[in-house]
Every structure is written in structure tokens, then in C-alpha cells.
Structure 1
């Protein structure tokens, strides 16, 4: 059973499962994060949806590159959580199945190509405080406490 984090699903909505892969990216004692700037600033672990026919690891590499412009190596799966949300950019009620990894950032090769995204480098405490969803916050907090 994968733990639900956040809002209880609404009985009056149909949710579509939307799997995704997200990364905790430690960099010299700090963490690479992404900020989605529109419709309001939302700080997140870099990552996103897994496309049909794509593995979680393929999606992780692609999404991190799109959102923060970095290549990563040695991803290790930490676990998963699910959350029920409305995704206005897709006009979709989604059950997001979020697979969380920790990976080594290798190098930045481009600016973010995902529209309205900016790369942030934050301390562990600042990153936990800034994260916009409880699942990301839970996994980063666990990672920090295990180090």
C-alpha cells in the first residue's frame, strides 16, 4: 500500500492516475530544487510525469533536465507516495503516484526548458520549509535525518 499524503480525495471527482518520478539532488551540502513560477510560486523536487512507454528512471532523467537543466547519475529509489490534486495546466483531477529518488547531480548543461520553471539551490532546512507539498517535504526530511 502506498501512503496517501495531503488532501483526502473528493467523492464528487474522478481522478486519473498520473505516475511521476522526482529527485532529491544533494549538491555540496545544499539541494537543487525547482520553482514553478505560475500561477504562483511552488517549490518542488525536480521531476514530473512518466510518459506512456517510459520507465520511471527515463522520466526522472528527462524531467530533471527539462526543469533544472542538469544531468544526474546513480539514482536510488527511496519510496513513493500518492496525493490527490487538481492540475490546472492539464484541467485534470489526478491521483499523482510519486516515485522519489536520490541522485547525484553531475553538471548543468542548459537552462531550464520547462516554461515558468527556475532552478534553486537551498540549504536542507530552507528546502524543507519552501517545498509546496507534504510528500516532497516528508521525503526530504527523512533523507536529512538519515544522513
Structure 2
């Protein structure tokens, strides 16, 4: 069974399954995250939805690049969780199946290409407190030995 974080699913809502991949990207004493400006400004693990027919690792590389401008290497899956949420940018309720990887940030090729995103370096402690959802905070704490 995959652990759920966040709100319990609502009985009056039909959820669409939305598989996604997200990266914990440590380098030295910092962690590369993305700041998303809309719909609510927040820090997030870089990542997002897997397109139909796309391999999860390909999606991980694509999403990290789009949201940070960085390329990554050596992704290793560390776990998964579910969360139920409304996605205003897509105008639907989603059961997000979030697959979490740990990878090495290799090099910045430029700025984030996805509008409203920018790369931010934070300490692991800051990430464990400030990431926008409890599932991300849990996996950062666990993967980096903060718990």
C-alpha cells in the first residue's frame, strides 16, 4: 500500500489518476528545489506529470530541466506517495501518484523554461520545513537523514 499525505479524498469528487515523478537533488550542503509562483507561491521538489507513453525516468529528466534549467544524473527511486488535490492549472481533481527519486544535479544549462518557475538552493533543513506539501517534506527528511 502506498502512503497518503495531505487531505483525505472527498466522497463528492471524482479524481483523475495523475502519475508524476519528483527529484530530491542534494549538492554539498544544499538542495536544489523549484519555486513555483502560481497558483500559490511555494517551494517544490522539481518534477511533474508523466506524459502518456513517456517513461518515468525520461519524465524526471524533462521535468527537472523545465523547472530548474539543470540536467541530472544517477536517479534512484526512494519511494512513492499519494495525495488528493485540486489542480487549478488543469481544472480537475487529481489523485497524484508521486514517485520520488534522489539524483545528482550535474549542470545548469540556463534558467527554468517552464513559466513561473525558478531554481532555488536551500538547506535540507529549510526544504524539510518549507516545501509545499507534507509528502515532499517527509521524503526529503528521510532521504537526507533528518529524521
TM-score (norm 1): 0.97
> SS at the partner of 1:58?
helix
Counterpart in the other structure of 1:86: 86
Counterpart in the other structure of 1:133: 133
**Equivalent runs, 1:45-124 vs 2, <5 Å:** 45-124=45-124
In the alignment, the residues of structure 2 paired with residue 92 and residue 36 of structure 1 have an alpha-carbon distance, to the nearest angstrom, of: 19
In the alignment, the residues of structure 1 paired with residue 17 and residue 39 of structure 2 have an alpha-carbon distance, to the nearest angstrom, of: 23
Counterpart in the other structure of 1:23: 23
- Contact (CA 8 Å) 2:125, 2:146: kept in 1 or not? no
* Unpaired segments ≥5 residues, structure 1: none
Q: CA deviation at 1:128?
A: 1.1
Aligned CA-pair RMSD: 1.2
Deviation per CA, 1:19-50, whole angstroms, max 9, x where unpaired?
00000000121000001111221111000000
Question: How many equivalent pairs are there?
Answer: 147
In the alignment, the residues of structure 2 paired with residue 137 and residue 103 of structure 1 have an alpha-carbon distance, to the nearest angstrom, of: 16
Structure 1: which 4+ aligned runs deviate by more than 6 Å? none
TM-score (norm 2): 0.97
* Unpaired segments ≥5 residues, structure 2: none
Q: CA deviation at 1:146?
A: 6.9
Counterpart check, 1:143 vs 2:143: yes
